[in-house]
Amino acid sequence: MSRLILKVAIDAPLRHLFDYLPLFNVPPPAVGCRVRVPFGRRSRVGLVVAHAPHAEVADAQLRHIHEAIDAEPLLTAPLLDLLHRAADYYHAPPGEVVVGTLPALLRTGRPAQLAPPFEWRLTNTAPAPDSVGRAPRQAALLRALAAGPRTEDDLDAELEGWRVTARTLASKGWVERAERAPEPAPTGAPPAAPTLSAAQQAAVDAITGASGFHAFLLDGVTGSGKTEVYLAAIESALAAGRLALVLVPEIGLAPQTEARFRARFGAAVAVLHSGLTDGERLAAWLAARDGRVGVLIGTRSAVFAPLPRLGLIVVDEEHDTSYKQQDGFRYHARDMAVLRARLESVPVLLGSATPSLESLEHAASGQYRPLHLHERAGSARLPQLHLLDVRHQRMTGLVSPALAAVMRDELAAGRQVMLFLNRRGYAPVLLCHACGWVPKCTRCDAHYTLHRARRLLVCHHCGSERPAPTACGECASGELLPLGVGTERIEADLATLFPDHAVLRVDRDSTRRRGALDAHLAAARDGRADILIGTQMLAKGHHFPAVTLVGILDADQGLFAADFRATERLAQTIHQVAGRSGRGDLAGRVLIQTHQPQHPLWQALLGGGYGVFARGLLAEREAAGWPPYSHLALLRAEAAGAQEALWFLGETLSLAAEFGQAGVELLGPVPAPSPKRAGRYRAQLLLQASRRAPLHNLLRRWLPALAQLPAARQVRWSLDVDPVDTY
């Protein structure tokens, strides 16, 4: 007799699906529906990804599902297809991909629909609050509702224990509970779109004229009006009754992008990012799935959001490495966006002022169609880049006299200055002047960074903190010297150098609280701060019209990094930071402080701009056989002992030789560049291949086998396909 087996994905670190039987006498749950299933001794939420005639396990082991959760599939067929291929490409456990990318509340089995919000309001018979003066709780609730209906969420926040009171008042007929009417859509005409330049219009025409899958690389200098191109292309998709998905690299960028998109598209815009509460995330996800959203803006994981009638995908700042998930299911959202567009036969638009070398190579080889915006929109001009030779200069912290002089002129003219330093904290090292003692994180073998305002030593590797010492741990001397300079220290130096000007620091520490980043950025835009000092966070995408001078304080840091992508990153960062300046009517200038003014990288970057520089880098990559001219996968392992990770990787190496590794080079194993982190020792093995197929063929056979190695039990290991950094 033929029977039906449910193939279920469960969020567990196992590289296979699980077989279950449906319940008796009810139709089996469809593919795409969630089910609750017995799993070991507990029960788990899984998702049915296929129906099959046969089970992989013996009959005695087959169990029935506990219950079907969804009546309708949660995920559409093309989305399930995308997730399957993603799991296959990244060699990730299918459950981690299919279930792990759902909003948290759906993973726990919550119904896939929203309870409508309820509100409480007064009836006509409600007495005045003062007339129930002897019942203070009743009076308080009546008073709260006298100002107008309140949602249950509001009341929860305002009045403790209000529910009991509400029931009492309802029994008297004084208050009632009702479903809240949806918010009225905002009225008023949306702001008129600017008249597009010829280059913008050509880009929009190319995108809207495409039918089916096409990948476009919109390579446009900062401030060239890429966003206007996105908006116009989306407008045309919406007009055709299709929806758009817009990916942005950071939550920090989502609110601004959201504001700009809302101004154009109003209530059709929804956002999905990690700054939302679980409930908000679920609401946005469901609204998208139900087609109540016209434009979904989100960070990385939004690439897996369900959207019926998808018409266009936009990936803003496509070069940004935060599109790569760095733990668990290590996917690259840009690459998934391109794959999704292909599966759903829609155009995908990748935009950047500093495209990744991968995308430039794809454009050169004809896989992506390049679109260019060479000039800034309106009257804004591109800033000039200059090197400041700081050798032999008497620095105040990291500020050279020449930089300080230019800053003074700009500030005197009422303009804003932005300084950039990719190192947070006060000082990266604390040192005893008497004996040389340096406090170190014992779990990482790394120096602590001094955070002076919070009076803490913080390990930037593992995040551990301890109170900053006031005396040496070895000799008890009180003379502890902070060495080196972080953003917090620059902030203090600037207060001394420019006592009459407001300084604002923007980094991970100053923006810890929810909403703090937005508040800081608003202060910067409104001109409430004259000097902005920040890390990378300040560099990305923000628009400050009054900034005319950008100073890059310690550019040499990026010249000497170990990773082969370091120069690409440095060039992108400098161009992005530079792009913050001169976006208004005023011309901008960028001063790069360096001790290496002759370095060929500076010559290339200043001589030809990012495009020329990137072509040079591509030639180097090709000669050296690095991506995008080869394909990488990195096997990482970590263990409690110093040797286990290396041993394990050594065994995986022999295993690969057994499987036959033609076309794949295995490099290592070697200790990771910072081998000890959070008390564990780390090592890695790099796989490199000039073609993808042999690499993936090897991985497909090798991974299940290495999971079975006895040595695998002593280590934690993970595979990173297309790693964005190799440390």
Phi and psi at residue 286, in whole multiples of 5°?
-70, -40
Kindly state the smallest distance separating residue 585's Cβ from ligand ADP, in Å.
11
Please choose, out of 225-233, 283-291, 693-701, 702-710, the segment that lies near ligand ADP by the rule CB under 6 A.
225-233
Q: How big is the CA angle at 444 (ends 443 and 450), to the nearest 5 degrees?
A: 100
C-alpha span between 498 and 496 (Å, rounded): 6
Toward ligand ADP, which CB reaches closer, 317 or 509? 317
Kindly state the smallest distance separating residue 162's Cβ from ligand ADP, in Å.
46
Toward ligand ADP, which CB reaches closer, 352 or 422? 352
Toward ligand ADP, which CB reaches closer, 137 or 543? 543
User: Among ligand ADP, Zn ion, none, what does residue 311 contact (CB within 5–8 Å per kind)?
Assistant: none
Conformation bin of residue 272: beta by default, left when phi > 0, alpha when psi is -120 to 50: beta
Q: Which of 303, 377, 552, 617 binds ligand ADP (CB under 6 A)?
A: 377
Answer yes or no whether residue 534 interacts with ligand ADP by CB under 6 A.
no
> Sign of the C-alpha dihedral, residues 692, 697, 703, 704?
positive
Answer yes or no whether residue 584 interacts with ligand ADP by CB under 6 A.
no
Answer yes or no whether residue 236 interacts with ligand ADP by CB under 6 A.
no
Please choose, out of 221-229, 416-424, 554-562, 635-643, the segment that lies near ligand ADP by the rule CB under 6 A.
221-229
Answer yes or no whether residue 319 interacts with ligand ADP by CB under 6 A.
no
Taking the chain, what is the end-to-end CA distance rounded to the nearest angstrom? Answer: 54
Phi and psi at residue 384, in whole multiples of 5°?
-90, 135
Kindly state the smallest distance separating residue 344's Cβ from ligand ADP, in Å.
25
Please choose, out of 214-222, 426-434, 690-698, 701-709, the segment that lies near Zn ion by the rule CB under 5 A.
426-434
Answer yes or no whether residue 441 interacts with Zn ion by CB under 5 A.
yes
Toward ligand ADP, which CB reaches closer, 484 or 588? 588
Q: Which of 22, 46, 73, 220 binds ligand ADP (CB under 6 A)?
A: 220
Cβ burial 147-165 (10 Å sphere, 16+ → b, else e): eebbebeebeeebeebeeb
Kindly state the smallest distance separating residue 720's Cβ from Zn ion, in Å.
22
Phi and psi at residue 402, in whole multiples of 5°?
-65, -45
Q: Which of 126, 472, 506, 574 binds Zn ion (CB under 5 A)?
A: 472
Answer yes or no whether residue 223 interacts with ligand ADP by CB under 6 A.
yes
Kindly state the smallest distance separating residue 582's Cβ from ligand ADP, in Å.
11
Q: Which of 443, 508, 692, 696 binds Zn ion (CB under 5 A)?
A: 443
Phi and psi at residue 9, in whole multiples of 5°?
-90, 130
User: Among Zn ion, ligand ADP, none, what does residue 224 contact (CB within 5–8 Å per kind)?
Assistant: ligand ADP
For residue 164, the SS3 value is: helix
Answer yes or no whether residue 432 interacts with Zn ion by CB under 5 A.
yes
Q: Please, are residues 353 and 579 in contact by the beta-carbon 8 Å criterion? A: yes
Answer yes or no whether residue 314 interacts with ligand ADP by CB under 6 A.
no
Count of other CB atoms within 10 angstroms of residue 172 = 13
Give yes or no for a cis peptide into 628 (omega within 30° of 0).
Answer: yes
Q: In what order do the strands lie in the sheet with 716-721?
A: 664-677, 680-689, 631-639, 716-721
Count of other CB atoms within 10 angstroms of residue 298 = 28
Answer yes or no whether residue 225 interacts with ligand ADP by CB under 6 A.
yes
Phi and psi at residue 387, in whole multiples of 5°?
-95, 140
Kindly state the smallest distance separating residue 219's Cβ from ligand ADP, in Å.
10
Q: Which of 437, 610, 613, 702 binds Zn ion (CB under 5 A)?
A: 437
C-alpha span between 154 and 388 (Å, rounded): 56
Phi and psi at residue 87, in whole multiples of 5°?
-60, -40
Number of chain residues interacting with ligand ADP (CB under 6 A)? 15
Q: Please, are residues 20 and 64 in contact by the beta-carbon 8 Å criterion? A: yes
Answer yes or no whether residue 228 interacts with ligand ADP by CB under 6 A.
yes
Kindly state the smallest distance separating residue 680's Cβ from ligand ADP, in Å.
42
Kindly state the smallest distance separating residue 248's Cβ from ligand ADP, in Å.
11
User: Among Zn ion, ligand ADP, none, what does residue 443 contact (CB within 5–8 Å per kind)?
Assistant: Zn ion
**CA-to-CA separations, 591 to 208, 385, 603, in angstroms, rounded:** 40, 6, 14
Copy the structure tokens of residue 126.
């409600």
Kindly state the smallest distance separating residue 307's Cβ from ligand ADP, in Å.
23
Q: Which of 34, 44, 226, 542 binds ligand ADP (CB under 6 A)?
A: 226
Instruction: Fill in the per-residue mask, 163 to 202: x = in contact with ligand ADP (CB under 6 A), - = not in contact.
Output: -------------------------------xxxx--x--
Answer yes or no whether residue 572 interacts with ligand ADP by CB under 6 A.
no
C-alpha span between 118 and 149 (Å, rounded): 10
User: Among ligand ADP, Zn ion, none, what does residue 437 contact (CB within 5–8 Å per kind)?
Assistant: Zn ion
Toward ligand ADP, which CB reaches closer, 225 or 428? 225
Q: Please, are residues 426 and 408 in contact by the beta-carbon 8 Å criterion? A: no
Tell me, what DSSP letter sits at residue 300?
G
Answer yes or no whether residue 487 interacts with ligand ADP by CB under 6 A.
no
C-alpha span between 483 and 573 (Å, rounded): 25
Q: Which of 475, 519, 624, 657 binds Zn ion (CB under 5 A)?
A: 475
Q: Which residue is nearest to ligand ADP (CB)?
A: 225
Toward ligand ADP, which CB reaches closer, 81 or 375? 375
Q: Please, are residues 145 and 132 in contact by the beta-carbon 8 Å criterion? A: no
C-alpha span between 537 and 650 (Å, rounded): 39
Q: How big is the CA angle at 487 (ends 484 and 491), to the nearest 5 degrees?
A: 105
C-alpha span between 584 and 717 (Å, rounded): 49
Toward Zn ion, which CB reaches closer, 232 or 431? 431
Toward ligand ADP, which CB reaches closer, 355 or 482? 355
Q: Which of 31, 364, 434, 712 binds Zn ion (CB under 5 A)?
A: 434
Tell me, what DSSP letter sits at residue 286?
H
Toward Zn ion, which CB reaches closer, 35 or 472? 472
Please choose, out of 168-176, 470-478, 665-673, 685-693, the segment that lies near Zn ion by the rule CB under 5 A.
470-478
Kindly state the smallest distance separating residue 677's Cβ from Zn ion, in Å.
7
C-alpha span between 455 and 189 (Å, rounded): 52
C-alpha span between 641 and 533 (Å, rounded): 41
Kindly state the smallest distance separating residue 196's Cβ from ligand ADP, in Å.
5
Copy the structure tokens of residue 542.
């923000």
The single residue listed with the structure tokens 């360096």 is 594
Kindly state the smallest distance separating residue 227's Cβ from ligand ADP, in Å.
3
Phi and psi at residue 649, in whole multiples of 5°?
-65, -35
Answer yes or no whether residue 477 interacts with Zn ion by CB under 5 A.
yes
Using CB under 6 A, list all residues that contact ligand ADP.
194-197, 200, 220, 222-228, 377-378
Using CB under 5 A, list all residues that contact Zn ion.
432, 434-435, 437, 441, 443-444, 459, 461-462, 464, 472, 474-475, 477
